[in-house]
A = this chain, B = another copy of it.
């Protein structure tokens, strides 16, 4: 969907009342720095993957209060007239730096740094968190599934298990995290994710026999198609499939039962029928653990639905967006000073930060290093923050293919234990200088 509508009301009520309060107190123009980070990784995870950057930048450009938005705020008394007037002119004019999309992150990594006036930066909080919390949860789960699947392609097919728009973003984030294709057509249109799919059980049940259904599908889509063989009896279906398609049949899909054992039987049957090139795709409540367990089975591809779109146990990744520094005075060049709340159990670390990944002499990541100043390019330090928005202008937009490639590279750099499926601690320590 080509969506050029305003994103401005995808925002918590209190962002705008804070704005009103700050306009009243006169503190609204104070130069401020907000940072997005996670206090911890989801339970048992060894790394996370940043995703959502491209979508956030797009939504930021559409963060505008037009007549429709202002009328709603006015009619419902959300904010006063002075605030409405300020919002009518709103354009973010500050700077944003962020981890590249697809990059790994660890507890405390400053994934996004937003610098501007308090007023212009605070009201982006909800939108930024929504996008990154969702997309990073999906990409992080996808990355583990990719590690488990090795060279075998992963197909994202979870649209039906999540909100219809989350589904589009999930397909995109899964692609960033290493999936090969998605079932979601809108993800194809909006984000250029390759899409695929052939038929469900309903297609077989619609016809008078499985044979009729297979015949129709083969004639219509060619012998390279994937036939679903578990509606009635797998062995009979495979026999019918090869009888109709010949040994050039593209693939068969198994969606139920013991997937490993069934795949082994089907492989033997296909080979005996001469269909040695016919691939076997398995689907049905797969996650990273069951994918790994199928590593020894003759499987050529995995379709993953529910566990992918729900982040495999971590549907959100607890990113927060915190004020870490603000100017001492109202002048644009007033010096920044760190601020931090002292709420029990939720401490924050004040001050603007820079982050680099430390690599050993073999190029393996050994630490996430966070500095209170730009460390420039020290030896063995790979800087992680890149400019995303410069004085209000988006400068860091990339293609989803670039993000996917960054994911591949960053994972290759992680120490081996980071990719273990078992529950563990963060694979790299975060060192605050």
Contact = CB atoms under 8 A, between A and B. Distances in A.
A326 interface: yes
How many copies altogether? 2
A13 B166 contact: no
A326 B201 CA distance: 13
Most B-side CB within 10 Å, residue of A7, A59, A80, A323: A323
Nearest to A130: B164
Interface residues of A, number: 111
Interface in A115-170: 118, 122, 125-127, 129-131, 133-135, 157, 159-169
B122 A25 contact: no
A9 B193 CA distance: 13
B159 A126 contact: yes
Contact of A185 (B13, B166, B343): B13
Interface stretch (A202-210, A271-279, A371-379): A202-210
Nearest to A125: B160
A72 B188 contact: yes
Nearest to A73: B185
Interface of A: 1-3, 5-7, 9-18, 20-25, 27, 30, 32, 34, 59, 68-69, 72-73, 76, 78, 80, 118, 122, 125-127, 129-131, 133-135, 157, 159-169, 183-186, 188-189, 195-207, 212-213, 215-217, 219-221, 230-233, 255-258, 284, 306, 309-310, 315-316, 318, 321-323, 326, 339-346
Given A2-B5, A127-B164, A129-B160, 10 more contacts: A12-B159, A13-B188, A16-B185, A25-B207, A27-B216, A122-B202, A201-B341, A205-B326, A205-B341, A257-B343
